[in-house]
Each structure stands twice: as C-alpha cells, then as structure tokens.
Structure 1
C-alpha cells in the first residue's frame, strides 16, 4: 500500500504550504501539517477543533524549512531539509491509538553549536515525573476537552539539546491525545512512552507503523487487472475508507463510522467552530460508505454507523446526522437498502432483528414528513436535504431567477431521488421483515410496488424519455434533466418502455461532457460547468452547487444504473460503461496523474478541474462497482450471480472476498494473453473456499444456488 500510493508532495490546493498527512487515529488526525519538524498546523480530535500545535522542535538558527522535500505515504510523511548550516530528516505519523509520533535526525553542518528544544502550545503544558509533559486543550464548543501527554526519547530536548559542529542526533517525540476526564493521564503517558522509551530505533518505529497500518488492508479484498488505472483506484478507494474511519467511543458515536471527509469548509483559526465540517456522521453518505465497506472482512465498520443512528435517533426514530453531542437534521438517503445489501454479504440476522424497529421508523417518518395525500411520491421542501442543493428544477417554475436565495422563486418538488430512495428502503424493509419473521413483509412489499407505480406513471415523460421532478401541488413536470433522472434504472424498476432514457448519457449536448457526468444536463438554461448560479457564485468559489459540476457521489450511482441497464439489454453498453468507469477513476488523481492520488467533492464537468479542496473526500462508492460489474459478483439471498460487463480487460483477479459464509475468488484471462498473475488460467472462473466451482471460456452470466456452493466440494458447476 505505501509504495503503490506514494505521492511525493501532497498539499491543499487553497493552501500550498499545508502538507497533508495520510495516517489517522481513531479520534486524532491532521487537517494539515506545516513544513516544520513536529506537529504544527491544524489538528482535530473527533470533530473539527483546530488545535494549532501538538509539539514542535525549534532551533536558534532558522524558523523556515522551505524549500524542503516531502514524500507522502499513506502511513507516514517524510520531510527532508538541507542548508549550509544544518540538515533534517523527519518521518511522522498518527497511530490508530491517537499518538502523534515524530522521528527526527538532525546534523549540524555549521562551525557553531546547534541548539534544539521542544515547544508546545502556549503555557498549557507542565512537567511530569521530570521527563514528560502533560496538558489540556480546552475545546469550548464541544462537551469534551482534549488531554495530551508528551514523551521524548532524549530529555535534553526539554531544556535545549546542543549539537557540536559535525554532530548528528536522532530522537523520537510522541504526543498521546485523549478525552480529558475519560482517558486516564497515566494511560496517555504510557501510550506516548511506548514509542520513546521502548529502546527501538527510529527505523524500527516507522517500520512497525507501516506494518500495523498495512494490516487493516490485509483484510480487504484484492483486485488486480491489466488496467493500472483501475488497480490503483481500487487501492486508493480502500485507503479512503481507512483514512476516514473513526471510532470516537464517546457520546452519540459509540461505534465505528466513516466520515464524509477529514478536511472542512471552516475557518482555520485555532479552536474555531464556524463553517461546515464533514468529520461527523452524515446520514446521506452512510449508505454510500456501506456499499463499499460491506465487502470488508470485518463487518463492525459497516454496521457501526447503523448502530450509532439507531441509538441516537431524531424525531420519530429518524436516522440523522450526528456529532458526539448533537442529533442534527436528516438528509435523504437509502440506508435501509444499503443495510440489506450489507446483510446479504455478512448474514448478521441478529442485527436485522435488533434494528428492524428503527428501519420501520425510516419509512413511517419519510411518509409523515415528505409524503402527500395524492400519491406515494416524496416532497422535498428544502433543496439542501437531498444533498443536491441548487439543482435547477427547484427554480424551473420561476424561469431560473438571478437570485435563487429569494424564497418566492423557489418551488417545493416531488423529487425523483428522494422517492427512489423511499422505494428502495421500503423494498429492503420487506426483505428484512422476511428475514426476521415479521408479518409486515407483505404490506411493505405492496407499498414498494405502489411507490414504483407512481414513479413510473407520473415522473416519466414519454416524449423526452426521462424522469422529472414534479411540482408539489400540481404535479406539473419540471423539465430539467437532473442526474437523478437515471435513478429509476439504478433501482432496477424500468423495463422496455423506458429504454430511451439511458441514451441521454451518450448525448454530448446533455450528459456526455468531457468530464462525465454533470449534475444537470448541459442543455439546461441554468447549467454551469464550474458551479455558481446564472453567472455568479452563491456559495463562494468552492461551494456545493448541483447545477452542472460533476460529482463522484452521483457518478457512482449513475454508473451502477448504466451497468444494470447494459446487463438488462444484452450487454450493449459495456464499452460505454468501461469508458465511463475509467473517466470516473481519473477523478481520483490530480491532473489525471496516477502518482498524485486525491479525490475531492466535485469537478468542472467540461475540464475535470477540481472545484473543491476537501482532499480524500468520501461520499461515493467505487469498490462495489468493480466487484459487482467488472468481476461480476452479486450475492442474493439464496444464490450467487456472476454477470460481468466486458470492461476491456485482458485479465483480472478478485480475491479474498468473504460473503455468505464463503470465500470467493473470481479470475478472468483472455486466451494467449500474458498476465502478471502467475496462477491465472484462461477463461472466466469462480473459486469458492479455494475450490474451482465454475469455469467458462468467456465472460458470461450464471446463477449458482448457495446451497450447491456450500454443499459441493471439488465439483465444477455448469
């Protein structure tokens, strides 16, 4: 992982001197680090708190270490600096148990003494036991303060380490952070001292960090193919999950979860709160995280967000956004559907039974808050709550006014996306009732069919072959082709009469822009490829506006829809899916350079330019697309379906997939092709628990009953 995702210098676009750090703790991470030895920059704990410094090594010669050379690895950051007076090499990381660790080597090249000393935040630290420091960071806007213990391998740093001309010194500093009053200071001291007083060399400590960091990835499926772009994006997507994984064990967040991002649209002022942050449970992105994380071998990470939301519900039991202290609002989401997909892989019936009342609440609350008396379509009253603010359909009935913030020009809509989510959630609830033996399964299935019927009959326009949002009172169509118009195909609710819909993806005047897929069709009068609204910014230069930019969020869903449509129609769109998947993959690399991994929130749909600066952004899925459509694996209740799209690969291998109590490996190789994988055989093959159970000379569809896979050893099924 380290070598394959190495990125050289990695910084914030809006703050070029702010270095990024890949490693994160369960609660501690760096928004960015300054190019100085130690941990100076902006550091966050559980949520955004903007601690300006954990510790830093100062000297009496210089306070600038630029230009310096930096090397970004997922598990640590290396910085080197050389001048005529001194040289410095530093490797630093944040461990999973929330320790900020710096391994430094200094050499004095001057003819005078070089003096080094440890600096901490203001006067907030005191000496403990003569060789360690401890202190508290007051956090005014949360219920917790942050306690810190700092340990050094050489106590001379506390008063001033003196290096004679030509002399070198290597030392280690570690700061362990925890919740004041909950985490014992003695434990924090022990954690920090484990790095500085263990007797290990700096090389050994860094090597240990790399091994421990890699161990998480060893429990993820492995994918290798003839396409370096897909392979590297696959690795980077697993890094995204690990980078955004958190386990606060505090307040409303007592179980693990994935953040939507580690950066933030907030002030960078020390201990400031203002603005929007992504480091919390955001219920809009939870199902997107689950779609990928369900394939991880440890189910606790994907189940954690569900448990958090169920134990800290909003009004009526609604799943909401959460901080440790606050139950916030709710976004539209497909969490029940994602939970059912998670069940299909890991088969945790106990969780389904336990959370079934919470899942039922999602359906009843959706109807109470967003339903209406005339049909089963869902009304959206706040355009921000589907996560797609400023989609032009809300202003269609007022001819796209210059000022979209004028509430008189805004129309509530029966939304395609919210209603499709409602359909999928209701259908999933029917399935989960069956699993739990609940008698309401049939009624939820009937409700799902009624929702589907209303979507197909009322939101579909035969003449333009597309699904549209509707006026909340008159049911007039808002003739704006939003990206969510493809959601009915993603939900697999369409058949032959709706075949014309998918063609809009191929039209260069609509959704086939240079950077597909725009959030609204390019022929919309309010289309803006770089965001903004009708020629001016409404949320700043980097603001979220869904009137034209390309978003990984909807790319993942739209590609899923495209793949399902290709399978439904005899694989006639496989080539376009392969092309579009590669274009989506390129979004994961700055300037399309595979040596610069980095995904942000949204992009210019004409050029691919990143429009935001939230690096390592995490509100989409990708791993599931590769497993479900490139390798072709789908796990159903009673069967395993293989149905890959031809993504133009000469070979691939998907390994270490644990699902339905089995371990799967799927391989493919064109005859006569040389593959970099030694044991790869020709054709399309499925191995279960190490045994070959299916083989065909070409990519093909096959449905295999689970009972046969678990009951037949060594036999090849045809």
Structure 2
C-alpha cells in the first residue's frame, strides 16, 4: 500500500465529534474507524475539501448497513418513515447503493444479501422505478463473478414482465408517475419519461447478457430485441430536435393515448428541459450527435448553479414554483440523486463518445461543486460535513431540512433531522470511476482514464481498492516526488506495476 490508513483517521474522528447519533444500526460511530480502515479504498489528493467529502461519504454509507433476519440491507433514511417497506427499505436508490458499495473490500458480505432481499425476502422492488438489473450486473462486473446474476435470472425476467404489464403504454414506451420516479412535484409531471424508459432499456439489455451467460439463447434474443426497440423509441420520441434535449411527454395514465409527439404543441408550462434528460447517457443509449444537450448543463439559464446542477432549467417560468404542502420538490432544487446520475452520464460521455461539447474541466468543476455542497452551517457559524435531501441551488442551504424544521419536525414526516445522512446518491463511485478513472470492463482487462485536467493536480492516489479479486493502486505524481515511484500515471495490480503513462493518458491492461 502506498497510503497509510492512519493518515486519514482524523476525518472520521471529526465526523464523530460533530455528530449527534440519533440512530444506530450495524456499525455505530465508536466502531466506524476500525471498520472503515479495512473496508474502504483510500484516496488522497491536493484538494482537502474534496478529500474530506470522500471520507465523509464512506462514514455516512456504513451508517446504513442494517442487519436484519433477512440478512443485510442498505437503508435510505435512518429514521423509520411510513412510505418505506420492510426493514425501512426503499428501492428507488438501490442502483446508487450498489454502485457505491461495490467498492468496499468486503462488499459481497453485505450486497449479496441486499440484492437477494429485493427478489426473495419481501423487498418491494417495484415501489419506485430503478435500474436494478443493470446495477446488479455492475456489482458482479467488479467482483468478476456473474453467478449471482445468472442464479437470479428467472426473478429478474419476472420483474421486467410485471413492469410491462403495469406501465407499458401502447406507444411502446413506459409510463411513469414522477412521484414513483422519486421525483415528486416536477414541472413536467407524469408521462413518458426519460427515467423509467432508460432504466427499462438498461435492464432489458442486461437481462439479454445474463441470459447469454446462462445459455438461454431464446431469452437472450427476446430481451435484446426489447432493448433495441426501447432505444429506437427513446431516440425518436423523447428527443426534442428544436431544444436538443430528451424530455417528458406528459400523459395522465399509462392507458392514455399520446395526442401529439411534437413538443412545440405541448402546454408550454409542462414543456421543459429537466435534468433527467441526461439519464440516457448513464446507460450509453444515445448515438453520437446528441451531445448538444450538454450545453445546458454549463449554462446559467440552463442547469448550472453555484450549488447545482438544478433539476429543471432556470429559464422556465415554473422554475422553483411555490408549493406550501410538500417539502421535496424536483422543480429546480439540486438533488444529489440527480447529480450522481448526471455525473455518471457525463463520465460516460467523456469516455465513450467522440464530442467537443464537454471536457474534463467541466467534469472537474461540477464534481467540486458537488463536494462543496456537503456542508451545513451551524448556529455558531461553524461549518460541518453534512448530507441531506435537496439543496437550494444558489445558497447551498439544505432546503427540505429547512422546511421540515420550520414545520416543527413533524412525526408523520420522519421526525427530527429526517434527512440527516441521507443515503440517496453516490459520490465516491464518481471519484473512483470518473475522476480517478477506474473503468470496469466486461472482459479480464482494466482501463484507467482519469478525468482530472492536466493542469489541476500535481498528485493523487487511489489505494487498497479491490477489482476482480485483485488489489489495485492508481497513482499520479507530476514530478515524481510525492510517492517516489517516478513521474506520471501508474497502475499497480497486487503490488506489481502493470501500466504507466505520462500526462494522464489512459492505461488499458490485461489482468
């Protein structure tokens, strides 16, 4: 190991000191460091705010490991909320939970139980939309073992067919309620949305891959055809040529017929660019030539904000519309859930597409904005690390927290500090797969492609991270003086140098 765990313990000590531990689950604060030092990958960089946020997110994630009679689950809220299911679980962020947790060295001890819970132990897997099958595949990809996915194939197929039965519209696209996308009170509302349609495309394509491994070739062909049809419809029907964006076609119920496919003929109060328009890139759905949409992420009249990105374009007349009876709005506030999706999609754009709209500098800027949002100013004016539900995009105040506090922390809303340590997004996966650039592959190779601009950092290191049963270390040392391993980017596998490059150029090696 290049990095020493003890050098980062002070972060965890500070988080514990500043914390009021309202709820304890499998690993309480007093045991946090002894567990984290062996389980989490280590990360070092010159930006200490971003580094602190990285360790804060692991500190928060372990709070949500919950041991139950059905094995381990991962919670979203720490307090019990009435809209949760068995063991206080909620499925809408399961994709985030799996993507983040897969990088723990002992992740299979927790996530295998969690995956099985949703299909075999009473988890309500269809309460909200999610990209569950795709996330299971990505977990298996990091572990290098797809036997779990193959074993669960009948349940995964059954779950997909139930979605078709309940939500497939006559158009061939899936209808979803914005609330069931966990995006209540959006400007566009319910309809044929880029959310569920992208998730169903990804799950169909993944089922076809699993079926191939299981030698179920008829099933493979069926689901590949479903995925191809979904992609065609997403690109043809949800893309607004004029506004260069994937949008929602509003529709009251899944059984309604679409009156018009022309966005300019829709009610202007519902015709809007929303951040969910970037979700198709999370699953590499668009072909090249759609990247004009990403201009909006960088535009202050679009989604760019000091504590953004916003969930709806700021130029729209209903941006941040008032609603006094609900604390969680998706009409403009910045949500870590959506920011995670967008930055994952952006990393895909930079890795998998030929385009000139987005650069590493843009990714670097946005992930730093995201990092600086992980704080709260206390009454004594001190700043502490904090994670909650949604953010006022211009001030950085945790917005739903402010509303719930003004309402007196109502018990039917989850009680005191409901959203504290909210596990509804990723951050460390974005550092690992995006900024540092460890890109999981289908085959027995490993690709490293950092999205750190060459003139920003003189060094960084990701250490003690497991990939396909091997320990990976990635270091960048501009002058060769920080780590004593020479100049440039270097990849070590089980302590052996497997690749190197200068000037942060990609490395691709066989394991």
TM-score for both structures, normalised by structure 2: 0.85
1:628 matched to 2:433? The reply is yes
Q: Residue 338 of structure 1 is aligned with which of 135, 142, 167?
A: 135
Aligned-partner Cα distance in 2 for 1:689–1:8: 32
Stretches of structure 2 lacking an aligned partner (at least 5 in a row): 1-7, 252-256, 264-269, 402-416
Please state how far the C-alpha of 1:703 moved relative to its aligned partner: 3.0
Cα RMSD between the aligned structures? Answer: 2.5
Aligned residues: 465
Please state how far the C-alpha of 1:263 moved relative to its aligned partner: 3.7
- CA contact under 8 A between 1:7 and 1:597: conserved in structure 2? no
- Aligned partner of 2:374 in structure 1 is 588
- Paired residue secondary structure (2:170): coil
Please state how far the C-alpha of 1:418 moved relative to its aligned partner: 0.8
Distance 1:256 1:679, change over 3 A: farther
Q: Which moved more, 1:292-301 or 1:452-461?
A: 292-301
- Aligned partner of 2:301 in structure 1 is 509
- Paired residue secondary structure (2:344): helix
Q: Residue 459 of structure 1 is aligned with which of 226, 229, 238?
A: 238
- CA contact under 8 A between 1:393 and 1:469: conserved in structure 2? yes
1:351 matched to 2:167? The reply is no
- Paired residue secondary structure (1:434): helix
- Aligned partner of 2:10 in structure 1 is 3
Q: Residue 203 of structure 2 is aligned with which of 400, 422, 425?
A: 425
- CA contact under 8 A between 1:295 and 1:658: conserved in structure 2? yes
- The correspondence of residues 7-156 of structure 1 with structure 2, limited to 5 A, is 7=14, 20-21=20-21, 24-26=24-26, 74-75=29-30
Distance 1:436 1:595, change over 3 A: farther
- CA contact under 8 A between 2:85 and 2:124: conserved in structure 1? no
Aligned-partner Cα distance in 1 for 2:210–2:333: 37
Q: Which has the higher helix share?
A: 2
- Paired residue secondary structure (1:656): strand
Aligned-partner Cα distance in 1 for 2:391–2:101: 24
Stretches of structure 1 lacking an aligned partner (at least 5 in a row): 12-18, 30-73, 76-208, 266-273, 314-318, 322-328, 395-411, 529-533, 710-718
Aligned-partner Cα distance in 1 for 2:86–2:370: 22
- Post-superposition Cα deviations, 1:535-555, rounded to whole Å, max 9, x if no partner, equal 34121xxx1111111100000
- CA contact under 8 A between 1:255 and 1:307: conserved in structure 2? no
- CA contact under 8 A between 1:294 and 1:345: conserved in structure 2? yes
Q: Residue 102 of structure 2 is aligned with which of 287, 294, 306?
A: 294
Q: Residue 271 of structure 2 is aligned with which of 479, 482, 496?
A: 479
- Aligned partner of 2:343 in structure 1 is 559
- The correspondence of residues 261-660 of structure 1 with structure 2, limited to 5 A, is 261-263=77-79, 280-298=88-106, 299-312=108-121, 320=124, 330-375=127-172, 377-380=173-176, 382-394=177-189, 412-439=190-217, 440-472=219-251, 473-474=257-258, 475-476=260-261, 477=263, 478-528=270-320, 534-539=321-326, 543-567=327-351, 568-569=353-354, 572-591=358-377, 596-611=384-399, 612=401, 613=417, 614-638=419-443, 639-647=445-453, 648-660=456-468
Please state how far the C-alpha of 1:279 moved relative to its aligned partner: 6.7
Which of these two proteins has the greater Rg computed from alpha carbons?
Answer: 1
Distance 1:515 1:216, change over 3 A: closer
Distance 1:22 1:7, change over 3 A: farther
Q: Residue 479 of structure 2 is aligned with which of 651, 656, 671?
A: 671
- CA contact under 8 A between 2:91 and 2:124: conserved in structure 1? yes
- Aligned partner of 2:412 in structure 1 is none
**Bigger RCO of structures 1 and 2 (CA < 8 A, at least 6 apart):** 2
- CA contact under 8 A between 2:499 and 2:507: conserved in structure 1? no
Please state how far the C-alpha of 1:447 moved relative to its aligned partner: 1.3
Q: Which has the higher strand share?
A: 1
- Post-superposition Cα deviations, 1:419-455, rounded to whole Å, max 9, x if no partner, equal 1111111111112222222222232122111101100
TM-score for both structures, normalised by structure 1: 0.61
- CA contact under 8 A between 1:255 and 1:305: conserved in structure 2? yes
- The correspondence of residues 673-712 of structure 1 with structure 2, limited to 5 A, is 674-675=481-482, 678-705=483-510, 709=511
- CA contact under 8 A between 1:264 and 1:276: conserved in structure 2? yes
- Post-superposition Cα deviations, 1:269-288, rounded to whole Å, max 9, x if no partner, equal xxxxx687997221111111
Aligned-partner Cα distance in 2 for 1:564–1:637: 15
- Post-superposition Cα deviations, 1:145-202, rounded to whole Å, max 9, x if no partner, equal xxxxxxxxxxxxxxxxxxxxxxxxxxxxxxxxxxxxxxxxxxxxxxxxxxxxxxxxxx
- CA contact under 8 A between 1:260 and 1:279: conserved in structure 2? no
- Paired residue secondary structure (1:549): coil
- CA contact under 8 A between 2:239 and 2:246: conserved in structure 1? yes
